[in-house]
Amino acid sequence: MKVIFISRKHGGSRSIELSRWSRALLSLCCLGLPLGLAASGYIAGQESGTLALRGEAPDALQDELQQQSGELGDLEGSTGRQVQALTINLAELEARMTRLDALGQHLTAMADLEEGEFDFSQPPALGGPLIGASTADFTPKGLDKELDHFEAHLDDRERQLDILQSMLTNRKLEEQGSLSGLPVKKGYMSSRYGWRTDPFDGKASLHNGLDFAGKSGSDIVAVASGVVTWAGRDAGYGNMVEISHGDDYVTRYAHNQETLVHPGDVVRKGETIALMGSTGRSTGSHVHFEVYKNGRSVDPSSYVARTHP
């Protein structure tokens, strides 16, 4: 192979004969140099891209972590508000439960139930075999639903207990206002209502009450609740108490040793109003008990025999 070199200055030419090895070396140089430069550029580009990716990866990860942190903060705030609301709701339900316990104990006392039959200071006894199992929902939404269900039960129990209290109160009022029982805590009937021989002159006379004999100074009690309309001394009755019970009923308690109430006093059924004595027209320690209906004397025996209204 010949290579001819032409000179522009002298206008002449020169040729060089290249051997086979020279031609191979020249081809290698002509082809290898561009390929090497291209490979070097590619490798440099790859390394530059890798470095760029390596620089971008921490930034993207940081942004993602910040976003997740913000979402977690929002979730914590929302959960905290839900827990606070549930705590307030639970406190209100506990206060209502305390009220129901107190009301239940009050009704138990009003109904004269046996001690221990309804003990509202202790949780109710429960039991039974476990049949199947359910998965409880302890999420805030699930707990809120359970609290709403429990609150509905409390509302129902409150209504029932209020109705029961009203019924028992009315019953107690009826019992308090109804004439029944003995006018003494201790003693015995010594004289009945009606005609009898007078103990002072031996003549037949109308005895318009019942006599109950007993120990001097023993308690005399009201047979029903009412208002004291008279308390003083009378020649025949001695020291006497008169009580108005409404519905045109009036009772009298005479021959008392001492009177413990005054006109205008409100007395309850079974309350001690005087002490037994022998004042006035009397032969011994006793109480003379009278009942008036619509201003007329009636036999107290039927009222004494009553045990409930």
- DSSP for 40-60 reads HHHHHHHHHHHHHHHHHHHHH
* pLDDT per residue of the chain (309 residues) written in tens, 0 to 9: 555 555 555 555 555 565 665 565 556 565 555 666 666 666 666 666 555 555 556 667 777 777 777 777 766 666 667 677 777 777 777 777 777 777 666 666 666 655 555 555 566 665 666 665 555 555 666 666 777 777 777 776 777 677 666 666 666 666 677 899 999 999 999 999 999 988 888 889 899 999 999 999 999 999 999 999 999 999 999 999 999 998 899 999 999 999 999 999 999 999 999 999 999 999 999 999 999 999 999 999 999 988 554
Distance CA 219, CA 271 (A): 9
Give the DSSP per-residue string, the chain.
-EEEEE-TTT--EEEEE--HHHHHHHHHHHHHHHHHHHHHHHHHHHHHHHHHHHHHHHHHHHHHHHHHHHHHHHHHHHHHHHHHHHHHHHHHHHHHHHHHHHHHHHHHHHTTPPTTTS-TTSPPP------S------SHHHHHHHHHHHHHHHHHHHHHHHHHHHHHHHHHHHHHHS--S-SBSS-EEEE-SEEEE-TTT--EEEE-SEEEE--TT-EEE-SS-EEEEEEEEETTTEEEEEEEEETTEEEEEEEEEEE---TT-EE-TT-EEEEEB--SS-SSSEEEEEEEETTEEE-THHHHT-S--
Query: Considering Cα of 292, then 296, then 301, then 305, what sign does the dihedral take?
Result: negative
What is the domain class of 188-304 according to CATH? mainly beta
Angle among Cα 189, 192, 197 to the nearest 5 degrees reads 120
Place of tokens 């430069």: 37
Place of tokens 């107190």: 102
Distance spanning both ends of the chain, measured CA to CA: 147
- pLDDT at position 274: 97
Write the CA distances from 182 to 27, 167, 240, 255, integer angstroms: 144, 26, 17, 16
Distance CA 298, CA 208 (A): 7
The Cβ-side half-sphere exposure at 144, using a 13 Å CA radius, reads 10
- pLDDT at position 33: 58
Distance CA 181, CA 294 (A): 21
Distance CA 13, CA 10 (A): 9
The Cβ-side half-sphere exposure at 256, using a 13 Å CA radius, reads 25
Query: Count of residues for the chain?
Result: 309
- For the chain, the domains span 2-70, 188-304
pTM of the model: 0.51
Place of tokens 């009937």: 189
Q: Which residues of 164-177 are buried (b: 16+ CB within 10 A; e: fewer)?
A: eeeebeeeeeeebb
Query: Which pair of tokens denotes residue 271?
Result: 């309350």
- pLDDT at position 309: 46
